Structure 1
Amino acid sequence: MAHTQQPSFGTIYDARPKTQWMEMPASVPGCPPGLEYLTQLDQVLIQQQVEIFEAMTDIETKNRYAIKNTLGQQCYFAKEESSLFQRLCCGTGRGFEIKVTNNAGQEVMRMRRKFKCCAGCCWCANSDTCAFYLEVESPTGTFIGGVRQSQSCWYPMYQVIDANERPVFNIDGPCCPCSGPCCTSDNDFLVTTSDGAVTQVGKITREYAGLMKEAFTDATNFAVTFPMDLDVRMKAVLMGATLLIDFMYYETDKNNDS
């Protein structure tokens, strides 16, 4: 009779799902080191990690994001660096740096938004002083593009620029980019060309996360779609645009709620 060994009381089980990693691609000529993953992708999923301490205390912690392909395999990890003072006192308007590492733990991108006292209002975004701007570097120290908030009457709007600060894409958001248990639909931010033809080339979708998660955390999931043959630098900048949108519209400003 076969004997089945029973676990001892001291056995510890790790119930957390194991992370599946995307296989490291070969180097690509002309591609910034670490961005080779993006040559194989036409969509990435950006999933903010739930912070238990933040959910329990309402104290804003540093954001962290897992960046995956459509098979759920992780290719990057992004972590916010910001001061505790600005997280507590400035909320969603805080300045920050986001360091993006590959599966080997090597930093391959850095995204930066400076703190601006009066920025955020779409009506006044025609002035650099009042418009949020996110810079993307890859490798760190080499500017490859940016995302600038654009002036509008209501809709969220952005302009994506390349390393020479020339407009490449426009991003137009929904009329009401709401977040919460009462808004049970996805929000689409359309990526279009800036050459006057207004041709849609991609999309940033903020996905509805479910009733419980929407009610108790500000952790968000995004899907970013772009052409497979798009320059990897612009793919990286669109990822940066996604994080800027997250900070501006889907981070609960707990310090200013009333």
Structure 2
Amino acid sequence: MDKQPTGYHMGLVPVGVPPGLEYLTQVDQILVHQKIELLEALTSFETNNQYEIKNSLGQIIYTAKEDNDCCTRNCCGTLRRFQMKIKDLHDQEVIHIVRPFRCASCCFPCCLQEMEVQSPPGTTVGYVVQEWHPFIPKFSIQGASKETLLKIEGPFCACKCCQDVVFKVMGKDGDNVIGQITKQWSGMVKEMFTDTDNFGIQFPMDLDVKIKAVLLGACFLIDFMFFENVGDSGQRCTVFG
């Protein structure tokens, strides 16, 4: 494991900041790297996804692991319900994510994708809610009371060979762009033969740390919806419409 990031320590928690999220108040960018699972790469047998969450220097600040059962992973594929535990360097769970089983397509406006983000575990801080659109992936970032705070909009085609795929993070009215979630191109071999993905998340430094945590949840939902490959029948790209 990389050495601890500069400024990372256990101390007094700032007012309004959930325990364990203090470091997020100091950054405007985080990186999410999915770990390669050897069994999955060799056999296409779906295992629990694992991720390392890093700062811009590549130092690990959190780890994340999907919590699911074998039957759900391999029968429900990318639509599977799951819970995800995000832990700090002291192995304390600081964020808990819950994704229920929802509809597969944007073509139908009912039962769209939704994800709940908790920090600390058991205390809801926000939701990621898919918005219906026939051609473009859109999401609302909502607070604990389901009020819309930000919007996310992706490209018409979420599959772009040899280049990054950008999902814009905008104000609640969908006007000004304040950040982005970027699926980073990992190279031809890795993209073709594994489903391990790399993402970058950018947001304003002064954004509420709870909403930063919800944007992290949005990154995982985007990964599962558009870039997760399950067995030979999985889809590595999505075109709306």
TM range (shorter): over 0.9
Larger Rg: 1
Alignment map for 1:137-176 (pairs within 5 Å): 137-176=118-157
CA distance, structure 1, for counterparts of residue 54 and residue 148 of structure 2: 27
Q: Deviations over 1:204-252 (max 9, x none)?
A: 0000001121121100000000000000000000000000000000001
Aligned to 2:107: 123
Aligned to 1:8: none
The one-letter amino acid paired with 2:79 is: G
- Verify the 8 A CA contact 1:91 1:255 in the aligned structure 2: no
Q: Indicate the SS of the match to 1:152.
A: coil
Equivalent residue for 1:37, pick from 13, 16, 23: 23
Equivalent residue for 1:237, pick from 198, 203, 214: 214
Unaligned stretches of 5+ residues in structure 2: 236-241
CA RMSD of aligned residues (A): 1.4
Pair 1:21-2:42 in alignment: no
Question: Could you say if the C-alpha distance between residues 114 and 257 of structure 1 is closer, same or farther in structure 2, counting changes exceeding 3 Å?
Answer: closer
The one-letter amino acid paired with 1:38 is: L
Identity within the alignment, %: 42
CA distance, structure 2, for counterparts of residue 42 and residue 257 of structure 1: 33
Aligned to 1:189: 167
The one-letter amino acid paired with 2:166 is: D
Structure-1-length-normalised TM-score: 0.87
Question: Could you say if the C-alpha distance between residues 257 and 37 of structure 1 is closer, same or farther in structure 2, counting changes exceeding 3 Å?
Answer: closer
Q: Indicate the SS of the match to 2:107.
A: helix
Aligned to 1:5: none
1:21 to partner: Cα distance: 2.0
The one-letter amino acid paired with 2:9 is: M
Structure-2-length-normalised TM-score: 0.93
The one-letter amino acid paired with 1:31 is: V
Q: Deviations over 1:31-65 (max 9, x none)?
A: 10001010001000000001111000000100000
CA distance, structure 1, for counterparts of residue 3 and residue 154 of structure 2: 32
